[in-house]
Amino acid sequence: MNKNRNSLYIFSLTLVAALGGLLFGYDTAVISGAEKALEVYFIDSLNLSPLAHGATTSSALIGCIAGGLLSGFFASKFGRKNSLIVAAILFLLSALGSAYPEVFFFTKGEPTIALLLTFNLYRIIGGIGVGLASAIVPIYIGEIAPADIRGKLVSFNQFAIILGMLVVYFVNWAIANGQPIEWINDLGWRYMFASEAIPALLFALFLLFVPETPRYLALKNQDAKALSILTKINGSADANSIFREIKKTMNVSSGKLLSYGKLVIVIGIMLSVFQQFVGINVALYYAPRIFESMGAGKDASMMQTIIMGMVNVIFTIIAIMTVDRWGRKPLLIVGSIGMAIGMFGVAGMAYANIIGISTLLFIIVYTASFMMSWGPICWVLISEIFPNKIRGQAVAIAVAAQWIANYLISATYPMMMEYSGAMTYGFYGLMSVLSAFFVWKFIPETKGKKLEDMDNMWNETA
């Protein structure tokens, strides 16, 4: 470890960037407390189908796909920092607009198709913010982090995502606790969405005080600024060495997407697809409804969701503490096996029509396994596996693929459950098994490697 390293400064930059992850988690999970009220307020009152319910619940994911696709352009054109400021503004607009979609054009308390579409538009705006943040926060952290602790620092982003989910579970529970269902269906869901405005404002404010990443500055030939930030992070001796390596990879003109072959792009895409096809966001978005289907009441289901969120935080911390010691591949494979056990267990309980603590335990095994592996490690790999010259473009494609997969899984869940719960959870278990094989066969170990080492690694396979 470099004794001249400014650990406090590195950690401060990581925390600010990770607020984008917290808002990612907050924005995607706030729907878990509000989706039943939205079903009553919009879907039931307008006599719409379960497909409309699934589309509304997951509408933010359309924005996430767009934000993911746009992230490469934003990160390359405007920089990592400015792109995150844009994301913070979008989070704020979405929070306020989703809470009161009637503003300007509609009458409160009179749901219409146009109002439902407007609500979904505000959710999509927030989704664009999530898509930007999901791609650019790991890039930002990865590009300021020293190689030997990069996995740990990028994993803080996943910790922030899960913390954001846990915080909003508490917020949703506090808003709904003890309130009559009529109040929740009329006003409570609005407070849930509006609460996101507070962390969004803080994120935008703190971003004003952090620098751009040295690798982006070097890419834009702002060498003095890049070297200054590297010196502040690593000390002068290491900064000069790192700067020379960065410039060496930048000297070749910005790379074409396939300059390192198709395999690295395919691996990035498949990492993203498997992270979603194992079904994690079904458990997160629909958690209260799943627990209610197990026999828990409204307040009890919210509390069980909070317990699950706390388990998620604990096992994400385990990943943070082990990713730079054990490596990426072992954690992913162990996590896949645990997820398969959990999901096949839930499928078996559903097939036998057994509802109780055993189902809850299998869900906890599943989510804990995900949070110590695919949750943080997928983002670590996406942030580091691509060479400098194609990182912005390649991360954008991988993240967009992730959100497309997320949307497919989340939007089809209600329909799949109507057909067969056992089949639904069995499918996620099968995907967990396939994800383990994929990691074993195709994922290279990147533990301890500098970002500049990725050029040589993929040149050898191209």
d(CA 384, CA 396): 13
d(CA 389, CA 41): 49
Assigned domain for 226 exists: no
**Residue 41 DSSP one-character state:** I
Q: What is the pLDDT of residues 265-304, one digit of tens each?
A: 899 899 999 999 998 877 665 555 566 665 555 556 656 6
What pLDDT shows up at residue 191?
Answer: 94
Q: What is the pLDDT along the chain (462 residues), one digit of tens a residue?
A: 566 778 899 999 999 999 999 998 898 888 878 888 888 888 888 888 877 887 888 788 889 889 988 998 898 889 999 999 999 999 999 999 999 998 888 788 788 899 999 999 999 999 999 999 988 999 999 888 887 888 888 888 888 988 898 888 889 888 988 888 888 888 889 999 999 999 999 999 999 999 999 988 988 888 899 899 989 888 877 888 888 877 776 655 455 666 666 888 899 899 999 999 998 877 665 555 566 665 555 556 656 667 777 787 888 888 888 888 888 899 999 999 999 999 999 888 878 877 667 777 888 889 889 988 998 888 888 888 887 777 778 888 998 898 888 878 877 877 887 888 788 889 999 999 999 999 998 888 877 777 666 666 666 555
Q: What is the pLDDT of residues 385-441, one digit of tens each?
A: 887 777 778 888 998 898 888 878 877 877 887 888 788 889 999 999 999 999 998
Residue type, 6: N
- Number of domains comprising the chain: 1
Residue 89 CA: distances (Å) to CA of 31, 196, 198, 204, 431? 20, 12, 12, 7, 36
**Nearest CA-CA partner of 225 in 236, 238, 215:** 215
Assigned domain for 395 exists: yes
What pLDDT shows up at residue 28?
Answer: 81
| Domain, as residue range, for 322 | 7-210+252-459
Assigned domain for 261 exists: yes
Q: Please, what's the largest Cα pairwise distance for the chain?
A: 68
What pLDDT shows up at residue 253?
Answer: 44
Question: Residue 68 sits in a domain of what CATH number?
Answer: 1.20.1250.20
Written as six digits, the tokens of 128 are 């664009």
Residue type, 202: L
Assigned domain for 216 exists: no
Assigned domain for 162 exists: yes
d(CA 429, CA 346): 9
Assigned domain for 327 exists: yes
**Residue 2 DSSP one-character state:** -
d(CA 458, CA 386): 8
d(CA 82, CA 74): 8
What pLDDT shows up at residue 300?
Answer: 60
What pLDDT shows up at residue 85?
Answer: 97
Assigned domain for 418 exists: yes
Q: What is the pLDDT of residues 364-390, one digit of tens each?
A: 889 889 988 998 888 888 888 887 777
Rg (CA), the chain: 22
What pLDDT shows up at residue 184?
Answer: 87
Written as six digits, the tokens of 273 are 């697809």
d(CA 453, CA 441): 21
Assigned domain for 240 exists: no
Contact status, residue 162 vs residue 312, Cβ threshold 8 Å = yes
Q: Which residues contact 70 (CB under 8 A, 6 or more apart)?
A: 128, 131, 132, 396
Q: Determine the distance from the C-alpha atom of residue 212 to the mean position of all C-alpha atoms in its chain, rounded to a whole number.
A: 22
d(CA 215, CA 127): 27
Crossing angle of the two packed helices 391-419 and 374-384, in degrees rounded to 10? 150
**Nearest CA-CA partner of 382 in 186, 38, 374:** 374
Written as six digits, the tokens of 418 are 């109507």
